[in-house]
Amino acid sequence: MYEHRLSRRTAIKCGLAAIARPAFLPASAFGKVESSSTIERVNLGHIGVGVRGTQILNSMRNLPGVQSVAVADCFEYRRENAAKQIGGEAYQDFRKLLDRKDIDGVIIATPDHWHVPIALMAADAGKDVYVEKPLGVCLEQDLLCQQVFSSNKRVFQYGTQQRESVHQQLGREIVRAGKLGELKAIEVKIPNGERGGSTAEEPVPSGFDYDRWLGPAPMATYTKDRCRASGGSYWCYDYSIGYLGGWGAHPLDILVWCYDGDMAGPYTIEGSGVVPTDGLYNTVVDWNMTLQMSDGVKITITTGDNSTKFIGVEGKVELTRGTLRTSPQEWKPDGVPSNNHSHSTAQHVANFADCIRSRETTHSHIQDAVRSDTISHLCDIAVRTGERITWDPIKQQITEGSNQAMDMISRPLRAPWTLKG
């Protein structure tokens, strides 16, 4: 077992490139990583089988050469129902699932605060990972995850399945082909978060391992809205940065998929938003952010539908989950199929399984996951500090901002949990 630590001050002063790479268990410790010519069936374990985890599980039922063999969840009824569905094993402790030598990869669909800690443990256990969006709850976790999966050569797939949609691919081709001419602006809209949430303490339900659910997050009393199935944890800052990250992962993923300006040089982030103070939920809502990129492109991020619009001197391209809109209209070919969310998810899992076999790069790799999630975190920091932040993508650090802003790149973890395998 190896511990991975990324000092907050080290990340601020030196950036990712200066951090020494840790040692990892070789793939041979859990069996040789086989090529596509020798692996006939990919065995997957599912960690987190709530709403989204179950959607993924159901979407992949008919994938050839892929078998779900085990599940882990803090809710007894969830894990038992899912295990019965697949004819596999159910675990209360996900670490027991990771110990299994017959599992090639895991799908992580837990609350946000568990995404990176479990992914790191999975990498040390010799597993490839599919991680639901968003990535980490702070920039430290994102950068460490990138370091681990890049150096350890484990397969990483991010849960941004919109890349599998034909209309998204066509829109990207238009932007990447330069049909827009000089790019002037990008407008990103992200669904708003929620306010409220009950703070009334209630008994922990029978069959729910609440302490394990909290995991590395601070200890807190149980309330019905903190752990509700429809996503109460999304709007609690102890577990998430809210929809800036959770929903923002989709339109921001399309942004970095089509545009590389966020890697070209330092850019600034500033704007406004509201941090609710009444009720349980306290992640940023009502955001209105502006990013000024080093290539002159202006990016705005506001609340609204899930969309990314690219504006150039020769035309526009707007991508949503279900549609492609172009100006001029003739850029859009006839007969573009509408989005099928379940099908896109199944294709995304299939790509993950194919890459487990081939050891090739996935469609939604770790570098792009970090790029889009970095934008979300910088927006959150700018709102909470009220500052204009400058981010250097080469150094991977905040170069202009207060000590408060720089301190926010990291979060403490509740003992005994650490960022380790």
pLDDT at site 372: 98
108 with 172, same domain: the answer is no
Q: For residue 16, is pLDDT > 90?
A: no
pLDDT digits (tens, 9 = 90+) for 154-209: 999 999 999 999 999 999 999 999 999 999 999 999 999 999 999 999 999 999 99
Q: Model's pTM, two decimal places?
A: 0.90
Residues 252 and 388 occupy one common structural domain: yes
- Rounded to whole angstroms, the Cα distance separating 252 from 190 reads 9
Angle (deg, nearest 10), helices 139-152 and 115-124: 20
Q: Are residues 305 and 331 in the same domain?
A: yes
- Residues 44 and 169 reside in one and the same domain: no
Same domain, 274 and 292: yes
Taking 60 as the threshold, does the pLDDT of residue 288 lie above it? Answer: yes
Q: Are residues 360 and 384 in the same domain?
A: no
Residue among 237, 264, 272 at smallest CA distance from 388: 272
Q: Which residue has the higher pLDDT, 337 or 306?
A: 306
Residues 38 and 80 in one domain: yes
Q: Are residues 180 and 83 in the same domain?
A: no
CA-based radius of gyration for the chain: 21
pLDDT of 52 strictly over 90? yes
Give domain status of residue 208, yes or no. Answer: no
Is the confidence at residue 93, as pLDDT, over 90? yes
Name the pLDDT band for 399 (thresholds 50, 70, 90): very high
Per DSSP (E only), the strands in 100-169 are 105-108, 128-131, 156-158
Q: Is 416 part of a structural domain of the chain?
A: no
Give yes or no for a contact between 163 and 257, defined as CB atoms under 8 angstroms apart. Answer: yes
pLDDT in tens, 337-353: 877 777 899 999 999 99
- State the pLDDT confidence band at 31, using cuts at 50, 70 and 90: very low
110 within some domain: yes
Does any domain span residue 377? yes
Establish if 384 belongs to a structural domain: yes
In a domain, 419, yes or no: no
Cα–Cα distance for residue pair 393/409, rounded to 1 Å: 14
Locate 40 and state its tokens.
């006939």
Q: Is residue 2 part of a domain?
A: no
- 135 with 191, same domain: the answer is no
Token readout for 358 is 């081939």
Domain assignment present for residue 220? The answer is no
**Backbone angles phi and psi of 322, in degrees to 5:** -110, -10
Q: What is the count of structural domains for the chain? A: 2
pLDDT of residue 21: 29
Choice among 27-41, 53-67, 293-307 with the minimum mean pLDDT: 27-41
pLDDT at site 39: 63
Query: Are the beta carbons of 98 and 78 closer than 8 angstroms?
Result: no
Same domain, 155 and 179: no
191 and 133 inside one domain: no
> Is the per-residue pLDDT at 99 higher than 60?
yes
Give the three-state DSSP class for 72.
strand
pLDDT above 90 covers a percentage of the chain that reads: 85
Q: What CATH number corresponds to the domain at position 38?
A: 3.40.50.720
CATH number, residue 287: 3.30.360.10
Q: Are 143 and 174 in the same domain?
A: no
- Model pLDDT, residue 26: 29
Joined together, the tokens standing for residue 357 give: 């076999």
Domain of residue 359, residue span: 8-162+345-365
